[in-house]
Amino acid sequence: PATLHEQDGATAAVCTRSALTAVVARLAADGLEARVGHEIEFTLFGDACNGAWSAYGLGAVLRREDFLKDLLRNAERAQLHIEQVHAEYGPEQFEISIAPATPVQAADLVILARILISRTARAHGLAASFSPIPTVGGAGNGAHQHFSLNSGGRPVFSGGGQEYGMTDKGSSALGGILSHLTEFTAVFASSPLSGVRLRPDNWSGAYVCWGLENREAALRFCAESPSNPHGANAEVKIVDPSANPYLATAAILGLSHIGIGNASPLPPEIVVNPSTLTEAERDERGVTRVPTDLREIVQKFNSSSVAKEIFGESIIEAMVSVKGVERETFSQMDEATTVERLRYTWS
């Protein structure tokens, strides 16, 4: 993790870490303070999967006991606080949850964690993939970001009079994110494989809506409860590991800030899996799919005045041109080849 400078020492206009630092400062000027906790999903490759996979099971963890113990030891030495390790849904897919931290520090820890996971895997003759789609037809890897906000030292997602104890500010923060989510899909999930992951019934939050503990909602609310020891928080589920974590957090916090400033309304909660609703019912509730077409995603980002407000021109220009080349390169390639080519791109 590093801040990018020009040769004369000035901060580079395309520095994503500085863009996040600036967003954090704008929040602080209005008395808002954020904490962010990252989930890191990855898939191991390298030796044959020995026997049936027990998703979320202890058997799966024990089979990779040596690797996981080493990873935990390395993390401790690197002062990376891992709060949870578990076997995920897909074969050889694991997840670690990193303890919440201040936004820039939390994004720095994502970089550190990926280096540690990749190096530890290599030491065990394995390779870790952080691809949104590591195998054709297999489970996707997400990079969900949880965040909480304090306003004047008090949490905005609990202790208030809105749904599940949200305060007016908490509710508006989520309203701000939801109302601009499609403009920022370029930042959250726009690799050539991101759209494959963002299909319904894949727990990737493929629908633009929010709901308590709703895994099919792009925005999942986690209320204050004994099972949330750090307090209430919101999880942006559509983020995948192809996203730059600094930019993704800058978008989440920047939109929350704008939502609070505009007192953005929060649409009604969706409590079910939206794919079980009819199209008419989804229309009626204003639930749409997160865009998956790269041309549409980039066009929405490029013409977003809110994106300009949060990131400035240089970052948008750089992203739009990189995404254009990616689309050109991979649009001719079939899915299986793309999956192979990009398997270790984010490792």
Q: Which residues are near ligand GLU by CB under 6 A? A: 41, 88, 139-142, 197, 203-204, 215
Least Å distance between CB 300 and ligand GLU? Answer: 21
Binding partner of 197, given Mg ion, ligand GLU, none, CB within 5-8 angstroms per partner class: ligand GLU
Q: How many CB atoms lie within 10 A of CB 300?
A: 19
Nearer to ligand GLU, 134 or 155 (CB): 134
Q: Name the residue with the smallest CB distance to ligand GLU.
A: 142
Residue with smaller CB distance to ligand GLU, 220 or 323: 220
Told to check if 95 binds Mg ion by CB under 5 A, we report: yes
State both tokens at 307: 């994106």
**How far apart are alpha carbons 223 and 212 in whole angstroms?**
7
Q: What is the signed CA dihedral for 35, 36, 37, 42, rounded to 10 degrees? A: -170
Say how far apart CA 20 and CA 104 lie, in whole Å.
7
Q: Identify what 215 binds: ligand GLU, Mg ion, none; CB under 5 to 8 Å per kind.
A: ligand GLU
CB 26 → ligand GLU: shortest distance, Å?
29
Closest separation in Å from C-beta 144 to Mg ion:
7
**Nearest residue (CB) to Mg ion, 90 versus 159:** 90
State in angstroms the smallest separation of the CB of 220 from ligand GLU. Answer: 9
DSSP for 29-92, written as a single string: HTTEEEEEEEEEEEEEESS---S---TT-HHHHHHTHHHHHHHHHHHHHTT--EEEEEE-SSTT
Q: Which of 272, 289, 132 is nearest to 218 (CA)?
A: 289
Of 241 and 274, which has the nearer Cβ to Mg ion? 241
Write the single-letter amino acid at 258. Answer: I
- For position 216 contacting Mg ion by CB under 5 A, the verdict is no
Q: Is 92 in the site for Mg ion (CB under 5 A)?
A: no
Neighbours of 14 (CB within 10 A): 16
Residue with smaller CB distance to ligand GLU, 171 or 190: 190
What residues make contact with Mg ion under the rule CB under 5 A? 95
